Amino acid sequence: MLEKTGLSRRGFLGASAMTGAALVGATALGSAVMTRESWAAAVEDAQSKIHVGPGELDDYYGFWSGGHQGEVRVMGIPSMRELMRIPVFNVDSATGWGLTNESQHILGDSAKFQNGDCHHPHLSMKDGRYDGKYLFINDKANTRIARIRLDVMKCDKILTVPNVQAVHGLRLQKVPYTKYVFANAEFIIPHPNDGSTFKIDSPDSYTMFNAIDAEKMEMAFQVIVDGNLDNTDADYTGKYVASTCYNSEKAIDLGGMMRNERDWVVVFNIERIEADIKAGKFITLGDSKVPVVDGREGSQLTRYIPVPKNPHGCNSSPDGKYFIAAGKLSPTCSIIAIDKLDDLFDDKFKDPREVIVGEPELGLGPLHTTFDGRGNAYTTLFIDSQVAKWNIDEAVRAYKGEKLNYIKQKLDVHYQPGHNHASLCETRDADGKWLVVLSKFSKDRFLPTGPLHPENDQLIDISGDEMKLVHDGPTFAEPHDCTMIRRDQVRTQKIWSRDDPFFAPTVERAKKDGIKLEADNKVIRDGNKVRVYMTSMAPAYGLTEFTVKQGNEVTVTITNIDQIEDVSHGFVMVNHGVSMEISPQQTSSITFIADKPGVHWYYCSWFCHALHMEMVGRMLVEPA
Ligand code: K7E
Ligand code: CUA
Ligand code: CA
């Protein structure tokens, strides 16, 4: 945009009285030549739209994937302020996630992994609307799915999906409620994958579509597919889920994966799958008890719809009418009519492509599509570095032969966008206010930070006829995707409730030791194991010292008996790799080996009081 105006960005900013370099992308679109004055007006307009004043609250929560950093980030929209980070697949020094017994209990078998790669955060629903209960997110790196409770904004369940490698696409059942989390395993592997063969092009090599019981966070079923699986979305009837496949070739290299002009969208018939499982028509694999059904070509459980070429994003429109698959290596999107899927499954069509009712040509590298609830779709164009706004109904009519221009606008974004997401776009409440575009490259839009650049999350106002870029926001690796929910749709707790399941296993342990967590400050010796129980209340721990023997396995359990909102304490044992958060009314515990004799100080790490520095104690370790 700036290039077109003939003004350099820095020249413009330098010459103007405006501050706030974050607004450098601000643009009033449409005018080919802008004066310095009209630029200033556009920037002012943009700034007024996103300005959330000191003490004021945002309208939406945004939940951002932390990509291969492994966490979830909570943002305020439209300010784009980062509100909180929720550690999930990473280890977090501030809260002790991955270090505490409570988090290790939730991580289960996978606590041994200290990395993750999350892509797709999605919020639980009832009848196609957010119910404010949970956020689910995938871990591609270690094939996991996590659930976050929105009331406390902590991860409460993690499940490793068996028999597959790399969960990528993840979406939730929208209707009648989020009974299932649907998860695509991306990579094709031999079954059994025990080294007896390394070939992945045989019928014994495949990947699977996975359904997880959202409430129990247990596997519900797996479906064997042809090719591989990329992204997915569910419809608004509760019956169908669609997934893109880019490796229909079952190839092992780039050239091979691009051989076919068309790959496909595979549609899963959830009713039929459930019926087969109920009737006992399934197999199991290896040690796993998960019901597995065969959904390969010829199965009554799936249908394969050929689409061009290495398709990527898969999004259902909020009017419930369409699945839209983005072409990636084709400049098109394929529009699949959901109301034709019953007939497709009843074999009423000669050619499965009869369910395709539109194939708009949008530009180079279409990746993901989102919606404003007013009949328009917004598709990211990775190679063109643009977002294309197009009218779905007009694209469908054009496919039938009508002459019309379904493309409403193309807006430059900076640069190479992956996902985009409009406010409430995956629900019936799509409100067409804000569009977030997650751009992979920021190039020169921020102060340089060495070879590794931040990404650029841009906020676009889509409330009017034209998209207007209003904010650049640098982010760390790599928010593939995000989701937004109105602030009134989320109810958070201000302090923990003492009977919260988050620390229930620790409460159980204390009960066995005869400890009253809210009052007792005691050391329990159990052979080589020492359990130290104490309270914390600003600015003091219940114990200012405790004694153990060198080599003891020490578990420190602390209960924060402060009742006051925002008074979180911490516990750090110096030189022992021990750190944790204890928020008001929370119990946290951590286990470590006291391997060095001598005096070892512990201190409070979350600023809680004027005498926070003095909130300390000592572990005295007697030589063995
Ligand atoms: Cu396109 Cu993993 Cu959703 Cu990245 S995926 S962009
Ligand atoms: Cu307690 Cu700082
Ligand atoms: Ca392909």
Q: pLDDT tens across 395-424, in order?
A: 999 999 999 999 999 999 999 999 999 999
Q: Report which ligand 2 atom has the smallest distance to the Cα of 567.
A: 1
Lowest-confidence region among 14-18, 228-232, 313-317, 616-620: 14-18
Give the H/E segment covering residue 38: helix 36-50
- Residue identifier of the C-alpha nearest atom 1 of ligand 2: 569
CA 598 / ligand 3 centre spacing (Å): 63
Residue 23 has pLDDT above 70, yes or no: no
Q: pLDDT of 89-101, one tens digit each?
A: 999 999 999 999 9
Lowest-confidence region among 34-43, 196-205, 596-605: 34-43
In short, whether 606's Cβ falls inside 6 Å of ligand 2 is: yes
Average pLDDT over residues 256-283: 98
Average pLDDT over residues 256-261: 98
CA 396 / ligand 1 centre spacing (Å): 26
Residue 389: which pLDDT band, with cuts at 50, 70 and 90? very high
In short, whether 147's Cβ falls inside 6 Å of ligand 1 is: no
Cβ count within 10 A of residue 542: 18
Nearest residue to 185 via CA among 157, 154, 159: 159
Average pLDDT over residues 485-512: 98
In short, whether 179's Cβ falls inside 6 Å of ligand 2 is: no
Strand partners, 432: none
Average pLDDT over residues 285-296: 97
Strand partners, 304: 266
Number of H helices, E strands in the chain: 9, 40
Average pLDDT over residues 295-312: 98
Q: pLDDT of 81-125, one tens digit each?
A: 999 999 999 999 999 999 999 999 999 999 999 999 999 999 999
Spatial distance between the Cα atoms of 377 and 321, rounded to a whole number of angstroms? 13
Average pLDDT over residues 285-305: 97
CA 85 / ligand 2 centre spacing (Å): 20
Residue 337: which pLDDT band, with cuts at 50, 70 and 90? very high
- Residue identifier of the C-alpha nearest atom 2 of ligand 1: 119
In short, whether 328's Cβ falls inside 6 Å of ligand 1 is: no
In short, whether 419's Cβ falls inside 6 Å of ligand 1 is: yes
Residue 471 has pLDDT above 50, yes or no: yes
Q: What is the pLDDT at residue 121? A: 98
Spatial distance between the Cα atoms of 329 and 64, rounded to a whole number of angstroms? 26
Q: Report which ligand 1 atom has the smallest distance to the Cα of 418.
A: 6
CA 578 / ligand 1 centre spacing (Å): 35
In short, whether 572's Cβ falls inside 6 Å of ligand 2 is: no
Q: What is the pLDDT at residue 15? A: 35
Determine if the pTM surpasses 0.75. yes
Nearest residue to 407 via CA among 439, 381, 430, 445: 381
Residue 429 has pLDDT above 90, yes or no: yes
Spatial distance between the Cα atoms of 338 and 315, rounded to a whole number of angstroms? 12
Task: Give the rounded percent of residues in the chain with a pLDDT score beyond 70.
Answer: 95
Residue 549: which pLDDT band, with cuts at 50, 70 and 90? very high
Residue 13: which pLDDT band, with cuts at 50, 70 and 90? very low
Q: Report which ligand 1 atom has the smallest distance to the Cα of 367.
A: 1
Q: What is the pLDDT at residue 33? A: 63
Q: pLDDT of 365-376, one tens digit each?
A: 999 999 999 999
In 240-385, which ranges are continuous DSSP H helix? 254-257, 270-278, 341-345
Average pLDDT over residues 499-514: 98
Q: Which ligand is nearest to the CA of 253?
A: 3
CA 536 / ligand 2 centre spacing (Å): 8
In short, whether 186's Cβ falls inside 6 Å of ligand 1 is: no
Spatial distance between the Cα atoms of 377 and 386, rounded to a whole number of angstroms? 13
Average pLDDT over residues 580-601: 98
Q: Which ligand is nearest to the CA of 255?
A: 3
Q: Report which ligand 2 atom has the smallest distance to the Cα of 607.
A: 2
The dihedrals phi and psi of 183, each to the nearest 5 degrees, come to -140, 130
Question: Across all residues in the chain, what is the average pLDDT?
Answer: 94
Spatial distance between the Cα atoms of 80 and 349, rounded to a whole number of angstroms? 48
Residue predicted with more confidence, 448 or 51: 448
Residue 180 has pLDDT above 50, yes or no: yes
Q: What is the pLDDT at residue 17? A: 35
CA 367 / ligand 2 centre spacing (Å): 47
- Residue identifier of the C-alpha nearest atom 5 of ligand 1: 480
